[in-house]
Structure 1
Amino acid sequence: MSTEQTPTAADNGFSYTLTRTLDAPASRVWQAWTTPDQYTRWAYAVPGTVEMDARPGGTWKATVRTPEGAEFPLTGSYLEVAEPHHLAIGMDVPGRPAPATMTVDLTEQGPRTTVITVHQTCDTAEERDGAEQGSGMLLDGLEGFLGSGAEV
Structure 2
Amino acid sequence: MSAERTITDNDFSYHLTRLLDAPAARVWQAWTTPGQYARWAYAAPGSVEMDVRRGGAWKATMLTPDGDRFPLTGSYLEVDENRRLVVGMDVPGKPEPSAMTVELGEDDGRTRIALRQTCDTAEERDMAEQGSTMLLDSLTAYLADGA
Report the TM-score when normalising by structure 1. Answer: 0.94
User: 2:59 and 2:127 mapped to 1: Cα distance?
Assistant: 19
Q: Which residue of 2 aligns with 1:7?
A: 7
Q: Point out where structure 2 has 5 or more consecutive residues left out of the alignment.
A: none
Q: Which residue of 2 aligns with 1:83?
A: 81
Q: Which residue of 2 aligns with 1:140?
A: 137
Q: Which residue of 2 aligns with 1:45?
A: 43
User: 2:70 and 2:15 mapped to 1: Cα distance?
Assistant: 23
Q: How many matched pairs?
A: 147
Amino acid at match of 1:49: S
Q: CA deviation at 1:67?
A: 1.2
User: 2:134 and 2:66 mapped to 1: Cα distance?
Assistant: 13
Report the TM-score when normalising by structure 2. Answer: 0.97
Aligned residue among 126, 129, 146 for 1:129: 126
| Structure 1 outlier segments of 4+, above 2 Å | none
User: 2:87 and 2:137 mapped to 1: Cα distance?
Assistant: 19
Cα root mean square deviation, aligned: 0.8
Amino acid at match of 1:92: D
Amino acid at match of 1:55: R
Q: Identity, % of aligned pairs?
A: 67
Residue 6 of structure 1 aligns to a residue whose secondary structure is: strand
Q: Deviations over 1:98-121 (max 9, x none)?
A: 1001000000011x2000000000
User: 1:5 and 1:73 mapped to 2: Cα distance?
Assistant: 27
Q: Point out where structure 1 has 5 or more consecutive residues left out of the alignment.
A: none
Matches within 5 A, 1:44-123: 44-110=42-108, 112-123=109-120
